[in-house]
Structure 1
Amino acid sequence: MGWKQLGSMGVNGIATGSGLSRTDWVKSLLRMAVLAAPILLVACSGKEDLDELALNDTPPEVLFNEGLALRAQGKLRDSTEKFEEIDKLYPYSEYSKKSLVNLAFLNYSRGKYPETVTAARRFVTLYPGDEDSAYMLYLAGQSYFRQMPDITRDQAVTRRAAGAFTELIQRFPESEYTPDAEEKLRIVEDQLAGKEMQVGRYYLKRRNYVAAINRFRAVVVEFQTTRHVEEALFRLTEAYYALGVVNESQTAAAVLGHNYPDTQWYKDAYSLLNKGGYQPSEDSGSWISRAFRSI
């Protein structure tokens, strides 16, 4: 059968006439294919929309109970997805609120700490006075705490951990999570102080005394209850003495001796001043003296 004969039969049952060349027939076929494509896309899109509508009709309490059941079965990923679904379909509802708590817990359990912080912070923002806000702040702090790097690296995450635990302690002092937050905060502050000491010693070795003093000052003012404050006072004695600011050097040594008289740090500070003919002597107007009086 030739191409002209085929043309008289038509394509898909459509009469095309008997005079079509092979080229015209191909063009006609392509045109029909292009016209048919949007119809197929609309049909598929319509099915997806119907599916979405059907999903939206599922009551939130049903979805929530399904999420709890999956969580109880140990299917944490599936449970997470279910609670995310509730939060998406029923935002700001009571079930969305409960889902955020579950999302924070599930993500924390799965080691997904950034996702934990996102859910926890969203909850605290939306429901600042809710009793579960204490738990959300605790999970946020714990998530940062578990990501803390070693002391040689940037401590931005460590500072965020300090912020979350501090907020919990200040806003919810009677919370059951507060005692552990206080313990964790001491560890966090010790690491932040340790970082300041590391950088301060670096500057001190390079005789950049002003930069070193600023680091040691941060330890004395901000992290006075950490184990690093004794060394910080000795390093201030060193740095001020090297700059020729003897009265501040004497004050640092005197405050060190008053608070930590039996330490090697005080013995070393005393020896340093004594070699130059000086003694530890506190200047009550010094920032060092004022910093310790404020505690």
Structure 2
Amino acid sequence: MKSFRLLAPVFLGAMVTLTGCSSSESEEEKIVLANMGAQQLYDRASESMEVGNFSAAAQTLSALDSRYPFGPLSHQVQLDLIYSYYKSGKIDETLATVDRFIRLNPNHSDVDYAYYMRGLTNMESDSNLFQELLTIDRSDRDPSKSRQAFEDFRRLIEQYPNSKYAPDAKKRMLHIKDRLARYEIAIARFYMRRQAYVAAANRGRYVIEHFPDTTQVKDALEIMVSSYEQLGLEDLRLNAMKTLKLNFPESDFIS
């Protein structure tokens, strides 16, 4: 305890010193940026991007965008700002910059890139790094961001089918569909535990109708078979079982 009391003032003093230095450096940075011209600012941001310092790049690009909103570099600055915000993990700033670019430049040659980045950003905001690292299945979490990402990619493909980003967007849409199907299955299983068999069967049927090309079809059919059995709906159970046997003969539900 004595040791802590002796060290604490020194530690706190160091904290104050570091905070003061940080504040001073921040003010100096603002002064430096304020004295730079448009090309100098852009070159500085480009250097930051090249070394992977996207947070610094975003700060410089934001300053450039504010001071020269209609300059010859304005479009490229906004596009680079979108990417820098995205790489910095600043979801709200990325989406706001994307939406502004699309609104102000609907006919720009790179507007397809803006739609693509909107989809990527919404898709990213639905993921959870820690859950993925720990392999925790959270299929039941709200998929609204994934739905928005799907819509972003769909719009890109429909409006710009020849875009160089379209092939990757299609692949990501398949991944998102599987995510949405897993959500429906998670909810269906919740209903099964609650003995809400009609609701469970409806969720299973929804997966079959809307996500037939996902990995969740087998689970959906099994839920339908089990639910119809509990409800005493023999014809529906037999139809679901027939489809299950035809497509997934290895299912444990087939005896």
Taking structure 2 as the reference length, the TM-score comes to: 0.71
Matched AA of 2:44: A
Deviations 1:71-116 (A, max 9, x none): 2244544432343234334546654333221110111222223222
Q: What is the CA–CA distance in structure 2 between the aligned matches of 1:179 and 1:185, rounded to whole Å?
A: 10
Partner of 2:196: 208
Structure 2 stretches lacking a partner, 5+ long: 1-33, 129-137
Measure the CA separation in 2 of the matches of 1:126 and 1:240: 53
Residues 65, 245 of structure 1: CA spacing in aligned structure 2 closer, same or farther, 3 A cutoff? farther
Partner of 2:116: 138
Letter in 2 for 1:264: S
Task: Give a deviation string over 1:132-181, Cα, whole Å, max 9, x none.
Answer: 12211222222222232432422222222222222222222221112222
2:172 aligns with 184
Partner of residue 66, structure 1: 41
Q: Secondary structure at the match of 1:262?
A: coil
Letter in 1 for 2:148: R
Indicate which of 239, 244, 250 corresponds to 1:263.
250
Unmatched segments (≥5 aa) in structure 1: 1-54, 272-295
Alignment counterpart, residue 216 of structure 2, candidates 223, 228, 247: 228
Q: Is the 8 A contact 2:38 2:68 kept in 1?
A: no
1:64 deviates by: 4.8
> Counterparts of 1:245 and 1:128 in 2: how far apart (Å)?
53
Alpha-carbon distance in 2 for matches of 1:104, 1:78: 13
Which residue number corresponds to residue 95 of structure 2? Answer: 117
Which amino acid is 1:224 matched to? P
Aligned amino acid, residue 128 of structure 1: P
Aligned partners of 1:160 and 1:94: how far apart in 2?
A: 33
- Letter of the 2:83 counterpart: F
Q: Higher mean Cα deviation, 190-199 or 163-172?
A: 163-172
Matches within 5 A, 1:1-295: 62-73=37-48, 74=51, 76-91=54-69, 95-147=73-125, 148-149=127-128, 150-258=138-246, 260-264=247-251, 268-269=253-254, 271=255
The question of whether the paired residues in 2 share the 8 Å contact of 1:64 and 1:99 is answered with no
Residue type of the partner of 1:240? Y
- Larger-gyration structure (1/2): 1
Between stretches 184-193 and 118-127, larger displacement belongs to 118-127
Q: Describe the shift of the 1:240–1:156 C-alpha distance in structure 2 as closer, same or farther (beyond 3 A).
A: same
Deviates further, 117-126 or 79-88: 79-88
